[in-house]
Amino acid sequence: MQLAFFYFFSGLSILSALFVIFFRNTLSAAIALVVTLFGVACLFGLLEAHFLAAMQVLVYAGAVMVLFLFVIMLMNLGREELLKIKLAFLGIIGVITGVCLAILLVTRFMGLSAPLLSLDLGVEYGTVKSVGKLLFGEYLIPFELTSILLLVAIIGAITLARKPQS
């Protein structure tokens, strides 16, 4: 049963990820990205990482993508306007980045197997409690540094977006 769910959700995320690339309509592409993120969250859930799954939906699908849609709807980009935006060497840069990422992912995760089906992880695994203990214990400093990074990004965004006060 879990295997069936795994194939369903991974198929869903891969399919919708392809749609993100191939849809001409920006809004449809964004919606397909939401479905991708949701599918990945379901995969997290199948891997017993419940907290991560909830956060993935809450932050990415529920908040970040809403802002994407916001911008798309307000600018209401048509097809012609989109075709105008073309950078030189965009294709070449894209291919190089993609191949590098693929090599990295394949070499890194080749031998790993997911804790599906049989592995006994204990009751605590993936719960809010255990994730919290890791974040505020072992990984406290990276966690705090990340939050400072995000804070800097927020302040930067506000400064850029603010109207100059004369």
Partner 1 sequence: MFPNNPLLEPFLIIIAKVILIPVIVLNLIPLLIWMERKVSAYIQDRRGPNRANILGVRLAGMILNFADVVKLLTKEEFFPTGANRFYFVLAPGLVFFIYVITTAIIPFADVLKIGEFTMSFQVADLNVGVLYLFSMASLAVYGVMLAGWSSNNKYSLLGGLRASSQMISYEITMGLSIVTLFMMSGSVSLNDIIHYQSENPLYWNMIQQPLAFILFLIATFAETNRNPFDLPEGESELVAGYHVEYSSMKFALFFMGEYAAIIVASSVLAALFLGGWQVPFLSTQALIDNAVFFLNVIGKVFGVVSILLGLVLMVQFRPGRYKDARDFEVLILGIPALAVGIFASYFFFTQGIYDMPDWAPPVFAASVQFVTFITKVILFCFFFIWVRWTLPRFRYDQLMSFGWKGMIPASLVNLFLVSARMMF
Among 5, 10, 23, 50, binds partner 1 (CB under 8 A): 50
* CB neighbourhood size of 30 (10 A): 19
Among 103, 114, 128, 149, binds partner 1 (CB under 8 A): 128
Told to check if 63 binds partner 1 by CB under 8 A, we report: yes
The count of C-alpha atoms lying within 13 angstroms of the C-alpha of 8, restricted to the half-sphere facing its C-beta, is 8
Among 10, 12, 29, 48, binds partner 1 (CB under 8 A): 48
What's the rounded Cα separation, in Å, for the pair 35 and 14?
Answer: 10
What's the rounded Cα separation, in Å, for the pair 120 and 39?
Answer: 24
The structure tokens listed for 25 are 């309509």
Told to check if 104 binds partner 1 by CB under 8 A, we report: no
- Stretch in the footprint of partner 1 (CB under 8 A) among 14-22, 57-65, 90-98, 158-166: 57-65
Told to check if 102 binds partner 1 by CB under 8 A, we report: no
Residues in 1-40 that interact with partner 1 by CB under 8 A: 1-2, 27, 31, 34, 38
What's the rounded Cα separation, in Å, for the pair 41 and 45?
Answer: 6
* CB neighbourhood size of 17 (10 A): 17
Contact predicate 2/46, CB 8 Å:
yes
- Interface positions with partner 1 (CB under 8 A): 1-2, 27, 31, 34, 38, 48, 50-51, 53-55, 57-58, 61-63, 66-67, 69-70, 73-74, 120-123, 125, 127-129
